[in-house]
């Protein structure tokens, strides 16, 4: 089966590698986003997908807009591909592109559709405290993740999974499911999505990262792990990223016997109500308390909650 692969970030790499390892597929070309400037040197760097493609001497296309790239479109048409595979590519495909491959365009989407259509399904499912998510392969149409579903694979979400943890797991699940989908393609009956059950996962914006301590401990914990590692607050007039937390209640304490024994005072939202030796500062929220497990002060390296509390000599009563 001749494939053209559309993808950009690390999340897409396992799927491309799975196609390359299989004798059932020929990856004729890769389409990825243009190189971006990264790092302190601000040097142009290829996407993870481009790096894999170049290492296998696969032709790479990097148009700013694939829909408007006349030469690129002509090249894609000339390949006479059986299928286009799309994994977190980052651009909308036109109907002209969707109609090119013989079998159609197959998308690997990081949710159980029709829930969490859109650009950031992994992040928003964590934000909303879901207990389960998965991968859906689907036939693409002109809508935003609205195409008929092919196969679904599910996975449970653990209480301390971050967006990074979940993305790594889902990327390998997606690779396996995509290969299974293509191999079983003639036998699969596409299932239309129920649009009435659809929810959306839009691009994450700067205000989404800001922590509001009047929210509950569990809501804040889900925001922090969902938008890992970028949620932020202020401490002593300086920006502070909060990267990992432990809500001091319920199932979250199952593996932390020492924390279960705490007898915490209450305070106002954002107030430090306790310093737990070898653990860190405990913050009062709108409902419940939240222990800071990993943080990063602006301009500094990430550090454990205890390193932060001890090094900054944080006192009870201070506020975030």
Phi-psi region of 313 (alpha: psi -120 to 50; beta: other; left: phi over 0): left
Residue 141 lies in a domain: yes
What pLDDT, on the 0 to 100 scale, is given for residue 283? 98
Q: Would you say 111 is a known binding-site residue?
A: yes
Residue 109 lies in a domain: yes
Residue 317 lies in a domain: no
What mean pLDDT value characterizes the chain?
97
Q: State residue 185 phi and psi, 5-degree precision.
A: -50, -45
User: What is the arrangement of strands in the sheet containing 132-139, beginning at the earlier edge strand?
Assistant: 60-61, 26-31, 2-7, 83-87, 105-109, 132-139, 149-156
Question: Structurally, how many domains does the chain consist of?
Answer: 2
Asked whether residue 76 falls in the same domain as residue 190, the answer is yes
Asked whether residue 187 falls in the same domain as residue 222, the answer is no
Per-residue pLDDT tens digits for 171-212: 999 999 999 999 999 999 999 999 999 999 999 999 999 999
Domain that holds residue 272: 206-311
Give CA torsion, residues 19, 22, 28, 31, to 10 deg.
Answer: 10
Per-residue pLDDT tens digits for 43-94: 889 999 999 999 999 999 999 999 999 999 999 999 999 999 999 999 999 9
Asked whether residue 149 falls in the same domain as residue 210, the answer is no
Asked whether residue 70 falls in the same domain as residue 141, the answer is yes
Q: Return d(Cα 229, Cα 179) in angstroms, integer.
A: 31
Q: Would you say 113 is a known binding-site residue?
A: yes
pLDDT score of 40 more than 80: no
Asked whether residue 185 falls in the same domain as residue 252, the answer is no
pLDDT score of 313 more than 80: yes
What pLDDT, on the 0 to 100 scale, is given for residue 23? 97
Q: Would you say 101 is a known binding-site residue?
A: no
Mean pLDDT of 107-116: 98
Residue 320 lies in a domain: no
Asked whether residue 72 falls in the same domain as residue 182, the answer is yes
58 close to 19: Cβ distance less than 8 angstroms = no
pLDDT score of 39 more than 90: no
DSSP secondary structure letter of residue 293: E
Per-residue pLDDT tens digits for 211-254: 999 999 999 999 999 999 999 999 999 999 999 999 999 999 99
pLDDT confidence bin for 37, thresholds 50/70/90: confident
Asked whether residue 213 falls in the same domain as residue 186, the answer is no
Last residue in a domain, options 158, 177, 197: 197
3-state secondary structure 228-250: CCCCEEEECCEEEEEEEEEECCH
Asked whether residue 188 falls in the same domain as residue 271, the answer is no
Mean pLDDT of 11-20: 98
Asked whether residue 80 falls in the same domain as residue 162, the answer is yes
Q: State residue 214 phi and psi, 5-degree precision.
A: -80, -10
Asked whether residue 182 falls in the same domain as residue 217, the answer is no
Residue 318 lies in a domain: no
Asked whether residue 187 falls in the same domain as residue 155, the answer is yes
For helices 13-21 and 48-55, angle between their N-to-C axes, nearest 10 degrees: 20
Residue 301 lies in a domain: yes
Asked whether residue 144 falls in the same domain as residue 289, the answer is no
């Amino acid at each position: 089966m001749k494939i053209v692969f559309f993808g950009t970030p690390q999340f897409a790499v396992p799927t491309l590698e799975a196609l390359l390892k299989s004798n059932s597929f020929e990856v004729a070309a890769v389409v990825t986003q243009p190189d971006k400037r990264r790092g302190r040197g601000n040097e142009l760097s290829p996407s993870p997908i481009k790096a894999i493609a170049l290492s296998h001497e696969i032709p790479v296309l990097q148009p700013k807009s694939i829909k408007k790239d006349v030469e690129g479109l002509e090249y894609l048409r000339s390949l006479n591909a059986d299928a286009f595979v799309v994994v977190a590519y980052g651009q909308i495909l036109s109907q002209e592109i969707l109609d090119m491959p013989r079998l159609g365009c197959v998308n690997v989407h990081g949710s159980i559709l029709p829930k969490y259509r859109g650009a950031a399904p992994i992040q928003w499912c964590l934000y909303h405290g879901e207990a389960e998510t998965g991968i859906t392969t689907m036939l693409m149409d002109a809508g935003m993740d609205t195409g008929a579903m092919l196969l679904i694979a599910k996975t449970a979400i653990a209480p301390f999974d971050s967006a990074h943890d979940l993305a790594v797991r889902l990327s390998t699940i997606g690779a396996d499911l995509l290969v299974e989908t293509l191999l079983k393609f003639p036998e699969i009956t596409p299932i239309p999505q129920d649009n009435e059950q659809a929810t959306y996962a839009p691009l994450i914006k700067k205000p989404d990262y800001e922590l509001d301590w009047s929210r509950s401990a569990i809501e804040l914990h889900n925001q922090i792990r969902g938008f890992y590692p970028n949620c932020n607050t202020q401490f002593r007039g300086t920006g502070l990223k909060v990267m990992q937390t432990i809500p001091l209640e319920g199932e979250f304490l199952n593996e932390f016997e020492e924390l279960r024994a705490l007898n915490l005072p209450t305070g106002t939202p954002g107030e430090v109500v306790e310093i737990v030796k070898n653990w860190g500062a405990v913050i009062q929220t709108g409902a419940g308390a939240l222990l800071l497990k990993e943080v990063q002060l602006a301009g500094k390296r990430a550090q454990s909650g205890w390193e932060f509390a001890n090094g900054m000599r944080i006192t009870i009563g201070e506020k975030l």
